[in-house]
Amino acid sequence: MKKMIIQGGNRLSGEVTIGGAKNSTVALIPSAILADTPVQFDTVPDILDVHNLMIILESMNVHSSFKHGVLDIDPTQIIEAELPSKAIKSLRASYYFMGALLGRFHRATLTFPGGDNIGPRPIDQHLKAFEALGATVSENNGTVHLEAPNGLHGTRIFMDMVSVGATINAILAAVRAEGVTIIENAAREPEIVDLATFLNNMGAQIRGVGTDVIRITGVNSLQSMNTHTIIADRIESGTYLSLAAAMGDGVMINNVIPEHLEAYTSKLIEMGVDLKIDSDKIYVPKAEHLTAVHVKTMPYPGFATDLQQPLTPLMAKAAGVSTVVDTIYPKRVKHIPELQKMGMKIAAGDGKITIEHTDHFNGADVEAGEIRAGASLVITGLMADGQTVIHKADNILRGYDRIVWKLNRLNANVRIEDDEQD
């Protein structure tokens, strides 16, 4: 494991360019094995999840190369093989290989996936979708076996709850199934639209993405003709918006899709941050006299659960008491005891998080329990007096493209070292 060392107190200025969306990338890479041709992705974020997914691809004889944000994947020599459990367990999004392998080979065997521990995130909706399409599902000792010896057949799938992961897995399985599949109560996230755009450009017939009803007519073959450019990461965008408002003397954030951030930027404006929003960039001036806000996370287009923690340090600068109610992952509270070590007046109880105005933060030894908790610690560390050491920094590197380089370009003082605690 790595540790991140931050010397706090530096004011930030300059510009930063947002990378491709992590939550698109981790679905697009598994989806590439559905293609009958090599595929290429552009603006791929340089994050640990990408390198772990490449290890999983290699185990299936799918060769890939990653350089300067361009990822080439050649699935034309793919073989069925046991997938490496260490890489599978390191990221939850490896479960997209279930849908992709089921679509390609009509069977799949996967170790139960890992990733961030932010409370219960069962995959029952995924398995229900696979069964509806004609697969049998069995599970023993943490391994899931899927098999559809008679092939997959289009059907109507109703999601009992809105689930990004289950919607994506259903699309991956259905795109090469026989007949028409209709997914109702589907998730509407931009990353799902991005995935469908990639698949449609290869010849898939997916309609209705971005709404709660998706209609898929199965096809026999998918062939890539063009490079697919991944959309900008709205969670990375929101994280830099928060740290720019917290410690910036004027920061320009480039390669942003403002429409994907409206629930978030409206909260920043409500707090008193005078954002200058352009078509593909946002300027964050020095922010003073912030006021408390109340946040309730919701499925897209509501306020993203992944952005409640990155906003927390800014909330602590605001006058009054701010609150967060996370309806998606109520147990997403790993950041709270760590932020308390740094002096933040933050607590959880009765289903909500309360953040009181805090004048002063101190550097401390803390631990990034998961990606977005880590982001909140990074921002608070930049605001704090003295040195902050964030252990388990791999969790941050899993989700933020070249974060140390980007922060230091903004005048931060951040470095990564191997952690001797491990």
Same domain (yes/no): 274, 408: yes
Report, as an integer, the average pLDDT of 186-215.
98
**Is 415 annotated among the ligand-binding residues?**
no
Residue 141 CB neighbour total at 10 angstroms: 6
The domain boundary residue, chosen from 209, 229, 249: 229
Could you give the CA distance from residue 215 to residue 200 in angstroms, rounded to a whole number? 12
Same domain (yes/no): 8, 54: no
> Residue 401 gets which letter from DSSP?
T
The structure tokens listed for 404 are 């140390």
pLDDT digits (tens, 9 = 90+) for 352-387: 999 999 999 999 999 999 999 999 999 999 999 999
Report, as an integer, the average pLDDT of 223-238.
98
**Is 79 annotated among the ligand-binding residues?**
no
The domain boundary residue, chosen from 192, 214, 229: 229
The structure tokens listed for 18 are 């947002």
Q: Which of 143-147, 323-327, 331-335 has the highest mean pLDDT?
A: 323-327
Task: Say yes or no to pLDDT of 234 above 80.
Answer: yes
pLDDT digits (tens, 9 = 90+) for 136-145: 999 888 788 9
Same domain (yes/no): 181, 290: no
Same domain (yes/no): 34, 70: yes
Same domain (yes/no): 262, 195: no
Q: How many domains does the chain have?
A: 2
Residue-level pLDDT at 112: 73
Residue 153 DSSP SS3 = strand
User: Which residue carries 């509501």 as its tokens?
Assistant: 302
Query: Which residues span the domain enclosing 80?
Result: 22-229
Kindly state the percentage of the chain with pLDDT values over 90.
90
Kindly state the percentage of the chain with pLDDT values over 70.
98
The structure tokens listed for 321 are 């008491």
**Is 123 annotated among the ligand-binding residues?**
yes
Residue-level pLDDT at 114: 58
Same domain (yes/no): 174, 137: yes
Residue-level pLDDT at 118: 45
* Structure confidence at residue 129 as a pLDDT band (50, 70, 90): very high
Task: Say yes or no to pLDDT of 119 above 80.
Answer: no
**Is 92 annotated among the ligand-binding residues?**
yes
Same domain (yes/no): 279, 336: yes
Task: Say yes or no to pLDDT of 258 above 80.
Answer: yes
Residue-level pLDDT at 19: 97
Mean pLDDT of the chain: 95
Same domain (yes/no): 183, 277: no
Report, as an integer, the average pLDDT of 229-237.
98
The domain boundary residue, chosen from 172, 206, 229: 229
Q: Shortest CA distance to 164 belongs to which of 32, 50, 37, 21?
A: 21
Q: Which residues contact 47 (CB under 8 A, 6 or more apart)?
A: 22, 25, 397, 398, 399, 400, 401
Same domain (yes/no): 128, 207: yes
Query: Is the C-alpha dihedral spanning 92, 351, 327, 342 positive or negative?
Result: negative
The structure tokens listed for 168 are 């994506």
Angle between helices 262-271 and 234-247 (to 10 degrees): 10
Same domain (yes/no): 268, 389: yes
The structure tokens listed for 176 are 């090469």
Residue-level pLDDT at 126: 94
pLDDT digits (tens, 9 = 90+) for 57-102: 999 999 999 999 999 999 999 999 888 888 887 787 889 999 999 9
**Is 121 annotated among the ligand-binding residues?**
yes
Largest CA distance in the chain: 64
Same domain (yes/no): 141, 195: yes
pTM of the model: 0.95
Q: Of the residues 46, 74, 116, 233, which is catalytic?
A: 116
Residue-level pLDDT at 88: 83
Is 107 within 8 Å of 151 (Cβ atoms)?
no
The CA angle 340-402-396, to the nearest 5 degrees, is 30
User: Which residue carries 């309806």 as its tokens?
Assistant: 327
**Is 226 annotated among the ligand-binding residues?**
no
Is 270 within 8 Å of 294 (Cβ atoms)?
no
Report, as an integer, the average pLDDT of 393-398.
94
Task: Say yes or no to pLDDT of 204 above 60.
Answer: yes
**Is 157 annotated among the ligand-binding residues?**
no
Residue-level pLDDT at 87: 81
Same domain (yes/no): 179, 285: no
Q: Which CATH number does the domain housing residue 250 bear?
A: 3.65.10.10
Could you give the CA distance from residue 244 to residue 274 in angstroms, rounded to a whole number? 12
Report, as an integer, the average pLDDT of 15-20.
98
Residue-level pLDDT at 130: 97
**Is 310 annotated among the ligand-binding residues?**
no
Is 80 within 8 Å of 145 (Cβ atoms)?
no
Task: Say yes or no to pLDDT of 120 above 60.
Answer: no
Residue 219, amino acid: V
Is 72 an active-site residue?
no
